[in-house]
Amino acid sequence: MAVLIDTPMWPAHGTLWAHLVSDEAIDELHDFAQRAGLPRRSFDLDHYDVPAERVAALIEMGATPVGNRELVRRLAASGLRVSQRERRAGGSSR
C-alpha cells in the first residue's frame, strides 16, 4: 500500500497543483488526507488536489513522490481510477 503524490504542474488559482492518490484503497487515501489536514472538498473522485506548497510536508508524512505518468499508471492498475467518461457522467459509485 502506498499513498502517491505527483509533481505539481496543474495551474489554477495562482498556484500549481499536485495529485495525491492511493494505489490500494480510497479509505487509505482519505485517512492520510485527514491526518494531513487536507479539506475533504479537495477530493475529486479518485484523488486529492494539493497545492504545491503542501507537497514537501506530505512527502515527510510518508507520501511517495512519483512522476505524473507513474501516478496515473499505478492508479489505473489499482482499479481506483475514475475515467473521463465516469467524470462526465457524475462520478463513480466508489
* Three cell numbers, residue 72: 496515473
Q: Please say if the pLDDT value at position 57 is more than 90.
A: yes
pLDDT at 94: 45
Helix then strand then coil, in percent of the chain rounded to 5, is: 45, 20, 35
Name which of 14, 10, 27, 21 is nearest 64 in CA terms: 21
pLDDT digits (tens, 9 = 90+) for 20-50: 999 999 999 999 999 999 999 999 989 999 9
Q: Which pTM value belongs to this model?
A: 0.86
pLDDT at 46: 92
Average pLDDT value for the chain = 90
Per-residue exposure over 24-43, b if at least 16 CB sit within 10 Å of its own CB, e if not:
eebebbeebbeebebeeeeb
Residues forming beta bridges with residue 12, ordered by sequence position? 15
CB neighbours of residue 73 within 10 Å: 14
